[in-house]
């Protein structure tokens, strides 16, 4: 990214820390960089956790990954974004992303579960003050939702940029956790007369619906017809 310090080449995995090693089902944890990136790149919404006035707060919000950084945006009046700019060196946060891939139905109620992919990121969120980095971060946020959309829409003007804050969270202390496969019933339950298996869940897209005030003659862009 122009206007930012280039991140040096990274190894294939993140280094586990006390905060990224699960206390339960540690065998499901992964620190593989490509896996972490794929989970982050496929989701739309993250949950940003921080402490406000001594109490925990978790906010759902959009985000985007650019290399080894995550960007989150919001109003300049937003408390966490404001605190990220005021605190030194920044705002300690925990950011999470989760995909639910399937419902796991077991013969016993105890062994019901879900198949999922998740990422947890610990770190310090910092306010983005460089104008060029901020613009490119906002473009990345738009393109994360619909790739190609930032070049097919009006960019933020000076007033809008002034009303928008962007924070940056480096991917340093990171872990992924994945659950796949079917039900893990007890051996003595295998003959019970109850169905067991996985109900897969899939993310899909319906036909785009044009705005009622769209100028006649503007066709659906190719990046939407290809979805």
Q: Got the DSSP string for the chain?
A: -TTSPPPPP--SBPPP-TTTS-SS-GGGEE-BHHHHHHHHHH-SEEEEEEEETTEEEEEEEEEEEETTEEEEEEETT-HHHHHHHHSSS-EEEEEEEEEEEEEEE-SSGGG-EEEEEEEEEEEEEEE---HHHHHHHHHHHHHHHSTT-GGGSPPP-HHHHHTEEEEEEESSEEEEEEE-SS----GGGTTSSS--EEEE-----------TTPPTTPPPPHHHHT-
Please write the tens of the pLDDT for every residue from 70-122. 999 887 767 666 666 666 678 999 999 999 999 999 999 999 999 999 999 99
What 3 state SS string does 10-75 have? CCCECCCCCCCCCCCCHHHEECEHHHHHHHHHHCCEEEEEEEECCEEEEEEEEEEEECCEEEEEEE
> 116 in a domain, yes or no?
yes
Average of per-residue pLDDT values in the chain: 89
In-domain check, residue 14: no
Q: Is residue 20 part of a domain?
A: no
Residue range of the domain that includes 64 = 26-225
**Within-domain flag for 18:** no
pLDDT at 1 over 50: no
Q: What is the reported pLDDT for 84?
A: 64
- Distance CA(103)–CA(191), nearest Å, equals 21
Q: Does 91 fall in a domain?
A: yes
In a domain, 1, yes or no: no
Whether 13 maps to a domain, the answer reads no
pLDDT of residue 87: 65
pLDDT on residue 92: 93
Do the Cβ atoms of 120 and 43 come closer than 8 Å? no
Q: Does the pLDDT at position 5 exceed 60?
A: no
What's the CATH number where 55 sits?
2.30.110.10
Number of domains in the chain: 1
Length of the chain measured in residues: 227
User: Is 3 inside any structural domain?
Assistant: no
- Residue 90, pLDDT score: 86
Measured distance CA(48)–CA(152) in Å, rounded = 29
Quote the pTM value.
Answer: 0.87
């Amino acid at each position: 990214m122009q206007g930012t310090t280039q991140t040096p080449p990274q190894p294939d995995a993140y280094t586990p820390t006390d905060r990224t090693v699960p206390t339960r089902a540690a065998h499901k944890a992964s620190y593989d960089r490509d896996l972490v990136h794929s989970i982050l790149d496929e989701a739309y919404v993250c949950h940003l956790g921080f402490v406000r006035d001594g109490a925990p707060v978790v906010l759902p919000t959009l985000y985007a990954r650019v290399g080894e950084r995550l960007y989150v945006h919001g109003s300049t009046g937003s408390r966490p974004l404001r605190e990220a700019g005021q605190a030194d060196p920044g705002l300690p946060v925990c950011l999470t992303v989760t995909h639910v891939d399937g419902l796991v139905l077991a013969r016993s109620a105890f062994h019901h579960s879900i198949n999922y992919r998740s990422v947890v990121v610990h770190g310090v969120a910092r306010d983005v003050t460089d104008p060029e980095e901020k613009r490119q971060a906002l473009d990345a946020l738009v393109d994360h939702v619909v790739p190609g959309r930032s070049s097919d829409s009006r960019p933020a003007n000076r007033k809008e940029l002034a009303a928008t804050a962007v924070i940056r969270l480096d991917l340093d202390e990171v872990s992924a956790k994945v659950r796949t496969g079917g039900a893990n019933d007890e051996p003595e339950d295998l003959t019970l007369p109850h169905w067991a298996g996985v109900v897969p869940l899939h993310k899909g897209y319906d036909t785009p619906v044009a705005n009622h005030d769209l100028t006649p003659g503007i066709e659906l862009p190719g990046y939407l017809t290809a979805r």
